[in-house]
Structure 1
Amino acid sequence: MRNKLYILILSSLFLPLTIQAQFVQKKYYESMVDSINLMTDFINSNSGDIERYAMNEVLKETIFNILTDDNSINFKLDSLKHISNITPSNKSFRLMTWLFKREDGNFESYGLIQTYNKRRKKYFVIPLEDVSTKLPSAEHLKLEGESWYGAVYYHFVETKINNKEYYTLIGWNGNTPFTQKKILDVLSFKANGMPVWGATIFKKHPHGRIYRLIFEYSTASSFFLNYDKQSYEVRTGKRDKKTRKPIYKSIKTDMIIFDRLGPLVEHMTNVYEYYVPETNVFDAFINDNGRWYYQEDVDARNPMPKRRQRRKETTPVRDKDFYKAP
């Protein structure tokens, strides 16, 4: 009884100090967010590349220093501008990505990931290197560590296969003055916390065995790719008694839904600056036990979501709205 009393007294003494420390930390991170927003405003201004590159280096160092503090994972940093900030429900990592638009109209991707080493019970930070321009067949390659297919992410979906967590990332890359890209990638982790980019959890897609999916299309167009509840039809195994045609039933479920892309004219196949979405034709990936199964011709007559963010950490879905690309 006496020991319990001592514990209660000590707790009452230290609780105000703990609350005060949390308040101080909160104010610190709020001030750092303000500083980062000033930096990204400058990076996205009309200043020259040299000055903006210099500011980008300061930005990378600032974010790195913030993320090296293990306690930073507990703060949402949800007032950031121009930077995607993703943290899952289990706080196992934080992924921050952004784009740099050069004076020549080409985009570069930057990012850092704060990840957790379960063995050492400690977070560590990895600056990411965009290797997208160096990969001959990016959809069919798995990447690890700092090597990453650059994108800024506006949504992610948590799934699990055999008790291993996978995070399906949905992102955008401004790419060049002629084409832009939407990327469907997968993030998982080794036991030591090292990130693995890409996974063969996309099934029955025409591209075969893929680790990620890359949609490249004209900068003059907008392409829809997001996680949403829509419908698709499956055969019931029965036939109409009069017409003998197969009877289908409609299933409504959450899915990753996207426009179907195609060239404006047939002879422009694989010339992606001429690729645009087909009118009201949607395909999707439907989740089944953590894996994504390709489904053609999804019935997207349900109200499509507004092309706005669903959660604080994500960014707008509409291509040019996100980065104010010209």
Structure 2
Amino acid sequence: MKGFTVILACLFTTAAMAQRLAPADVAALTQTEDSLRAVHYDVINGKVQEFRSSRNDQFIPQLVKALKTKYSFYYPFDSIRTMAKVYPQDSTFRIITWPLENDNSTFRHFGVIQMNTKDGSLKLFPLFDNSDFTKNMDTITNHKGWYGCLYYAIKQQHYFNAEYYTLFGWDANSQTSQKKIAEMLTFKNGEPVFGGPFFSFAEDTVPKPNRNRFVIEYKRDAVAALNYNPEMDMIVFDHLISETGEEVKKYTLVPDLDYEGFKWKAGKWVHIEKVFHDALQQGKAPVGEPMDKKKVDLTKPQTAEDINAETLEKAAQKGKKKKKGE
């Protein structure tokens, strides 16, 4: 089913591009894409920070210039595999994001929101990563105060004549821990708004205040899921425990094969404390799978998501077998 969906998306993009973009513009964008791909390869793979930053400074104006081409929204830039692109179901915009690694293994993120305009003109919101300048992640911001990350998925919800877009992002963060983020994107007076009190814990055993942004931080070489599961119609994420019994030290947290979630109810994502009822015993957490940088592209969190999807599927099958045996 996933492969079929990808094929349909490719066919739609190709058809839309053929209908909207002039042949001469397609040819010009194809040539520009080759140049952009070469520059962005250096942004990701350059050996020293100064060189990576310099190439990034070259890449941004070149990308913006390409996006100024009329109806460029329909050009997918598929060959630039070192930047992530997500589209909502209604195709009213797309978000392009990418990382820039510092020599200390921390990351700064860059990105743009490109709106799908009726006349094909460029309407762009540059995203400015403010995460290094604030310790408070529970914020509501505009595109100038963006909490930088790579967006790997998006889920659109319609509620009371308004559209709500849940974004799922990944931040390599530091040498010891990484983060996954779920946050709501809305538009107010045509301007993007990131965050809002959409994550509710009102139905928890011990209720807690709403959060404007939901974040899990965990050990750098562990693999943890945070994504929308269409079959369950909910957000599912790994429950985390500390390998050392020190919950406050986020770099010690790893999944224990128990799962939590959020269910969309009355315009909010309501927390579900336990999705499956077949967790491992406390203290029996699995060792995180090492991250081999030669095999895992840090710009493609989808690779980790595929692994997580398999884990969820196995857990669901295990739960079904247990239910049948009862």
| Range of TM-score over shorter length | 0.7 to 0.9
Structure number with greater CO (CA < 8 Å, separation at least 6) is 1
- Give the corresponding residue for 2:264: 287
Residue of structure 2 equivalent to 1:136: 135
For the 8 Å contact 1:199–1:211, the answer to whether it is kept is yes
Gaps of 5+ in 1: 1-17, 231-252, 302-313, 322-326
Superposition pairs of residues 35-50 of structure 1, within 5 angstroms: 35-50=35-50
**Inter-CA distance 22–52: structure 2 relative to 1 (3 Å threshold):** same
- Tell me the amino acid that sits aligned with residue 90 of structure 1: D
Determine the C-alpha separation between the residues in 2 that align with 1:21 and 1:293.
42
* CA displacement at 1:71 relative to structure 2: 1.0
**2:317 equivalent in structure 1:** none
Q: 1:70 to 1:161 in 2, by over 3 A?
A: farther
Larger Cα Rg: Structure 1 or Structure 2? 1
Give the whole-Å Cα distance in 2 for the aligned partners of 1:68 and 1:293: 40
- Residue 254 of structure 2 aligns with an amino acid whose one-letter code is V
Question: How many percent of aligned residue pairs carry the same amino acid?
Answer: 26
| Equivalent position of 1:53 in the other structure | 53
Which deviations, in whole Å up to 9, do the C-alpha atoms of 1:30-66 show, x marking residues without a partner?
3333222212211222421111101001111122222
1:198-254: CA deviation from partner (whole Å, max 9, x where unpaired)? 122222266522111111111021111122145xxxxxxxxxxxxxxxxxxxxxx31
1:277 to 236, 244, 255: 255
CA distance in 1, matches of 2:115, 2:55: 25
- Cα distance in 1 for residues equivalent to 2:274 and 2:19: 54
Task: Give 1:179's aligned residue.
Answer: 177
For 1:3, the equivalent position in structure 2 comes to: none
**Which residue of the partner structure matches residue 213 of structure 2?**
212
CA RMSD of aligned residues (A): 2.8
Structure 1 CA distance for aligned equivalents of residues 120 and 26 of structure 2: 23
Q: In 1, Cα distance between the equivalents of 2:151 and 2:108?
A: 14
Equivalent residue of 2:22, what SS? helix
3-state DSSP of counterpart to 1:318: helix
Structure 1 or 2: more strand by fraction: 1
Could you tell me how far 1:319 is from its partner in structure 2? 7.2
Note the residue ranges of structure 2 that are not aligned, 5 or more in a row: 1-17, 279-299, 308-326
Structure 1: distance between partners of 2:125 and 2:209: 31
Partner residue of 2:239?
Answer: 260
Superposition misfits of 4+ residues, deviation over 6 angstroms: 18-21
1:70/1:123 contact within 8 Å kept: yes
Q: Give the match for residue 125 of structure 1.
A: 124
Q: 1:153 to 1:145 in 2, by over 3 A?
A: closer
Which among 180, 192, 210 is matched to residue 195 of structure 1?
A: 192
SS in 2 for 1:184: strand
